[in-house]
Amino acid sequence: MAEKGDLDLTGAKLNRGLWLVKVPKYLSQQWGKATERGEVGKLKISKGQGKTEVSFVLSEELAGGGGVQGTSAKSTAINTPRDHVLALQGVAGQSLGVFTEGSSGKQTDATSGNVVYDKLFLEGVVVQRADCRPVVGESYMKMKRMQIEESSKPMRLSQQLEKAVTTNYKPVANHQYNIAFDRRKKEEGKRARADKQQVLDMLFSAFEKHQYYNIRDLVDITKQPVTYLKDILREIGIYNVKGTHKNTWELKPEYRHYQSDEKSD
């Protein structure tokens, strides 16, 4: 089995010369509609006044049948221009090649099942470059006119409705969860951290009245941020995770100022 990144130089050994041709977008789109072995057109190479002249004629089948069509419902299909000329360019001082990906064997990806391409093939060396350009004619002008009209259309259009839209959803200035979130953020912003000893005094004073508190009540009493308050509570208190007083805080035994028979408060 070939290692990943292997390069097959068969194309170089065959001394295969290739043309690199730039074609218009609409032409490549029409070629994509051809069947696997279908004819896309005919290429003609001739000599004229000592110069090589190359032309390409798109097949009638691909050019007809509404090759180019606008997005508007009222727009009509326009046949794709058939006649093209190739403006030849040299490749002097350039070394260009055409490579393709392939597989050295029947390898598939275990996850997707797709064929794994682990090898590069050199198909040949570029010996000629060219630009494929349409011959300006009636079909070409119609196509360009339609493209200009399509590009100038606004992205959004106003439309008059024949009847009122009935729906259970009504527009609101702001949703409830956004209002609640903004309120929490505003409250957190107002709570500036007080001196630790001052917070301890407020907590001890509160626990002298009751043995158990949930964190919400302690936040209301101390007006402190939740995270800051919990850090202090961990030093002096115990958080009950089960039992009758689940999810509440109480003081550690060494900080309690009440008798054991008062725990029923």
Q: What is the pLDDT of residue 261?
A: 44
Q: Which residue has the tokens 């040949």?
A: 124
Beta carbons of 40 and 62 less than 8 angstroms apart: yes
Exposure string of 88-124, with b = 16+ CB inside 10 Å and e = fewer, is: eeeeeeeeeeeeeeeeeeeeeeeeeeeeeebbebbeb
Q: What is the pLDDT of residue 203?
A: 93
3 state SS of 265: coil
Q: Find, among 175, 231, 237, 181, the residue nearest to 206 by Cα.
A: 237
Beta carbons of 22 and 33 less than 8 angstroms apart: no
pTM: 0.44
Q: What is the pLDDT of residue 75?
A: 47
Question: Which structure tokens are listed for 33?
Answer: 């509609």
* C-alpha to C-alpha distance for 232 and 254, rounded to whole angstroms: 15
Point out the residues of the chain with pLDDT beneath 70: 1-5, 10-13, 65-77, 103-117, 167-171, 185-191, 258-265
Please state, as a whole number, how many other Cβ atoms lie within 10 Å of the Cβ of residue 1: 8
3 state SS of 65: coil
pLDDT single digits (tens) 76-86: 567 888 899 99
The helix, strand and coil proportions of the chain, stated in percent and rounded to the nearest 5, come to 30, 25, 45
Exposure string of 179-217, with b = 16+ CB inside 10 Å and e = fewer, is: eeeeeeeeeeeeeeeeeeeebeebbeeebeeebbbeeee
Main-chain dihedrals φ then ψ at residue 115, nearest 5 degrees: -70, 135
